[in-house]
Structure 1
Amino acid sequence: MSEQRLEKRQFGHRARLALSPVLSLKADDQAHAARTMWNLLHAWWQMMPKEKRTLAHADAAIRQARADIDFLAVLPAQAAQAVLKTYFQAWKNCWGGWAAAPNFKARFRSVLSVDIPQGRDLNIVRVHRRWGMVNIPKVGRVRFRWTKDLPVGKHANTDNRITGARLVKDALGWHIAFRVQALEAKPEPHQGPEVGIDMGVTVPIALSDSETYDHDEWLTVQEQAKLLRLEQRAARRKQHRKPGERTSRRLKHTYDQIAGLRAKAKRRALDCQHQTTTAIAIAIAIAIAKKYGTVVVEALNITNMVRSAKGTVDQPGKNVAQKAGLNRSISGEAWGRTVTMLTYKTAHRGGTLVKVPAPYTSRRCSACGFITPGSREDQATFVCKNPDCDWSGNADHNAARNVLHLYRIGLVAIPAAGRAVVRRAKRVKPAAAR
């Protein structure tokens, strides 16, 4: 294989760590030290004049802080340098208009994390079909769940290696996110079939070729009942707390249990999204190497879709509770995350993802193109009211075919300055049709 067809690809892989209580406390101490280092840097930044806010002065400041404050010594020096670089990068992102200005990190509202910038410090070894061992600086050798082949040992070289990692803690415990660099064959653009996708609440994903991807509830009936009991218990205990009084340990424990169940639901939803988007990007059948060459989705403004319907005091909203339930359902499906996954997965396999304008895709008949009132008799069925058509079928598949038709006529939504700009793009015919 020639050098021109190879490219370096960087991606991440997250695995669950099996930490003992002692090692978990060590990781917690490092994470709190990293958070304190961030807050000290932020305080230093606010006190220093503009001309002294340089990387060299900040490096000298954190070195002095590590020498003066004892508990900061639990944080490895490389991790402290990573906090410094991340803080300066946060300001660059703010100046570029990509993010808000960095702020203090509170103890209970911040995600605990520690960066390991050097991949050579990890010393990863696979010891079992399901488990591997990794070395965490100032913590020790720790087992992690082996769910993906990593470039370690004889499979590692300058082009295929692990460049670093990051420890992250959530409601389910500590995880490690590896940063992997791999030299892979550059995907060749292919003229595969085109497919339109309609994303909804009742039917999460419906394709224009009449295929549907659905899922069950993220929590079982028993887990939903337990979550309800915990939320009611937390509400009762919160009633007995006086204004300004600290949260009791019992209430914190209840909050932790609620967070654990919600994190479990999120993990299952994320796994389902990965499996669904991978199935769309490639074919499950062995005979077809690439299933879809072009994936077409709607350019949805999800922020406006989940906006509250409460209204104002002068003009109160209507059906506020129903709209709130719909907003929760839309947020639970995470359409934006699905589009993000489809974007990089189709690109990695030589395909492409295109966005088209969203208005009237669910109300337009895919057979005749007319928009007639009353065509959606119920949530699942579309019946065209045009006397010359009278077509009926699945409403979600009808919307997906409309999405695909907008791409085929060249109506593409191009994001610009925070809004979608519609333009007609010249469509290239497949090589077989020329």
Structure 2
Amino acid sequence: MSSELVWEKRQFGHRARLALTPAQVRLMDDQAHVARAMWNQLHDLWRMTPKCQRSLSRLDQTLRQARKEIDWYAALPAQAAQAVLKTYMQAWKNCWDGRADEPTFKARIRSVMSVDIPQGRDLQIKRVHRRWGMVNVPKVGRVRFRWTKDLPVGKAAHKDNRITGARLVKDALGWHIAFRVQTLELKPEPHTGGEVGIDAGVNLPLALSDGNHQDHGRPPRLPDGSADRDKWLNPDEKAKLIRLERRAAHRKSFRKPRERGSKRLHATYDQIKQLRARATRRAVDWQHRTTTAIAKQYSTVVVEQLHITNMVKSAKGTLEEPGKNVAQKSGLNRSISQEAWGRTVTLLTYKTARHGGTLVKVPAPNTSLRCSACGFITPGSREDQATFLCKNPDCGWEGNADHNASRNVLHLYRMGHALIPAAGRAVARRTRGVKPATAR
């Protein structure tokens, strides 16, 4: 009996590196600065206007008048300027709904330079080489970009399979373009793989309950016990980073208080940012490859419900009650932040759905303290960060601490302790007649 094919719309983004000439870089920088200035103008107007008089039409009228009176505002296309207004209003809606903080003033140095292209038809994308494509950027011209993914262009593009827009973003490695793609794909069949519990750790990045652990092969800590901030850089890049940091410290010593740094100092900072961005890109690439492999292999992926913000809080305490082991806790916080557990869960969430699987969260308390063999919590079983040795006289199970936690995570799901979002919060669901995790 043949099953009926079900099609569904899917929206995703694809980011590609741009190859710009120096003149094109200047034009795109000018557009980004104009977009930032428009945001700040809208923010000032919103703050100065009484609440009873705030409206979208008033902001739109002010923005149009500013484009007529300020000459250098013409560097930004009109549609991109309207996208700034739309993004600003959406930021306030996110704030009112409790999803984000209030919009703030965008400083010249700390803000991310970006320009939106809301209309996909303005891009005129064409593939010219196996590795390169061409895209039209308004008021910049034809620009080459790195072709690493097939895009719906030419005859393959239609109403349900097209590029709806793009966004230009600049980071330490240069300008990139993020395409917004809408496609029509077959709804995936239910995944036939098995179930797996995952524990995110520091010594072992992703420990799986079946022993198929995922390790990026880079130690999280140095021999002296401190956190390795640059584990994604090779030895030559680490040596170069040390030289640049020393050079920046030397040049900074000549700067007087409240005096702007020299061009040489900022050039050194840019080189440091490039190395940091390269390390971040490698870490994200490893996460994408690993989460894709997990989503293809397993039908149900079980993870812990972690509150990472609380986990990385400082331990220095107050003057009345100073904290203990502050330096050690700071190193652990850096290691947790580098592993980016939240991003791993986000990637697994949509990738498991794409392959017909599901991602489930379970309560995190005591998953690392409970023995996965006997189910008891015995004091002293977790003596260090890497090893778990059950002190129960009737058990004595020994193994990797993260592997033990991943087995507990999977067992909680099988016992019915999955967290289901309800009314905007997570509640525990437990099968009737089943007790919490005890002896196996």
> Where on the TM-score scale, by shorter chain, does this alignment land: which range?
over 0.9
Equivalent runs, 1:387-406 vs 2, <5 Å: 387-406=393-412
Q: Does 1:384 align with 2:390?
A: yes
Equivalent runs, 1:340-379 vs 2, <5 Å: 340-379=346-385
Helix, strand or coil at the partner of 2:371 = coil
Deviation at 1:195, TM superposition (A): 0.3
Equivalent runs, 1:298-317 vs 2, <5 Å: 298-317=304-323
Alignment-derived partner of residue 206 in structure 2: 205
Helix, strand or coil at the partner of 2:429 = strand
Helix, strand or coil at the partner of 1:293 = strand
Q: Is the 8 A contact 1:412 1:425 kept in 2?
A: no
Sort the Cα spacing of 1:307 and 1:170 in 2 relative to 1 into closer, same or farther, 3 A. same
| Residues 378-409 of structure 1, C-alpha deviations (whole Å, 9 max, x = no match) | 44332222111122222222111110000000
Deviation at 1:364, TM superposition (A): 1.4
Give the distance between the partners of 1:256 and 1:127, measured in 2 at CA: 32
19-28 or 368-377, which deviates more: 368-377
Give the distance between the partners of 1:304 and 1:227, measured in 2 at CA: 31
Alignment-derived partner of residue 228 in structure 2: none
Q: Is the 8 A contact 1:294 1:354 kept in 2?
A: yes
Alignment-derived partner of residue 285 in structure 1: none
Give the distance between the partners of 2:110 and 2:422, measured in 1 at CA: 33
Counterpart among 317, 329, 335 of residue 329 in structure 1: 335
Deviation at 1:91, TM superposition (A): 1.2
Helix, strand or coil at the partner of 1:212 = coil
Equivalent runs, 1:19-418 vs 2, <5 Å: 19-190=20-191, 192-215=193-216, 216=218, 217-282=231-296, 291-414=297-420
For normalisation by structure 2, the TM-score amounts to 0.91
Give the distance between the partners of 1:418 and 1:270, measured in 2 at CA: 29
Give the distance between the partners of 1:3 and 1:40, measured in 2 at CA: 54
3-12 or 306-315, which deviates more: 3-12
| Residues 344-397 of structure 1, C-alpha deviations (whole Å, 9 max, x = no match) | 100111111111111221221111111112223444332222111122222222
Alignment-derived partner of residue 432 in structure 1: none
Give the distance between the partners of 1:120 and 1:199, measured in 2 at CA: 43
| Residues 96-149 of structure 1, C-alpha deviations (whole Å, 9 max, x = no match) | 111111121111110000000000000001111111100000001011011111
Q: Is the 8 A contact 2:191 2:298 kept in 1?
A: no
Amino acid across the alignment from 1:114: V
Deviation at 1:187, TM superposition (A): 2.4
Sort the Cα spacing of 1:188 and 1:426 in 2 relative to 1 into closer, same or farther, 3 A. farther
Provide the aligned C-alpha RMSD in A: 1.9
Give the distance between the partners of 1:292 and 1:331, measured in 2 at CA: 26
| Residues 4-35 of structure 1, C-alpha deviations (whole Å, 9 max, x = no match) | 71111110000000011110010000000111
Deviation at 1:75, TM superposition (A): 0.3
Q: Is the 8 A contact 2:5 2:186 kept in 1?
A: no
Helix, strand or coil at the partner of 2:9 = strand
Give the distance between the partners of 1:398 and 1:362, measured in 2 at CA: 7
Give the distance between the partners of 1:83 and 1:57, measured in 2 at CA: 15
Amino acid across the alignment from 1:237: R
Deviation at 1:417, TM superposition (A): 8.6
Give the distance between the partners of 1:325 and 1:147, measured in 2 at CA: 37
Sort the Cα spacing of 1:111 and 1:2 in 2 relative to 1 into closer, same or farther, 3 A. farther
Q: Is the 8 A contact 1:113 1:168 kept in 2?
A: yes
Sort the Cα spacing of 1:202 and 1:418 in 2 relative to 1 into closer, same or farther, 3 A. farther
Q: Is the 8 A contact 1:299 1:420 kept in 2?
A: no
Counting aligned pairs with the same residue, the percent is 74
141-150 or 223-232, which deviates more: 223-232
Amino acid across the alignment from 2:292: T
Q: Is the 8 A contact 2:363 2:417 kept in 1?
A: yes
5+ long unaligned stretches in structure 1: 283-290, 428-434
5+ long unaligned stretches in structure 2: 219-230, 434-440
Give the distance between the partners of 1:43 and 1:130, measured in 2 at CA: 44
| Residues 173-229 of structure 1, C-alpha deviations (whole Å, 9 max, x = no match) | 000000000011122334531100011011100111101111133111121122222
Give the distance between the partners of 1:342 and 1:256, measured in 2 at CA: 33
Sort the Cα spacing of 1:62 and 1:425 in 2 relative to 1 into closer, same or farther, 3 A. farther
318-327 or 332-341, which deviates more: 318-327
Give the distance between the partners of 2:332 and 2:253, measured in 1 at CA: 28
Helix, strand or coil at the partner of 1:369 = coil
Amino acid across the alignment from 2:265: L
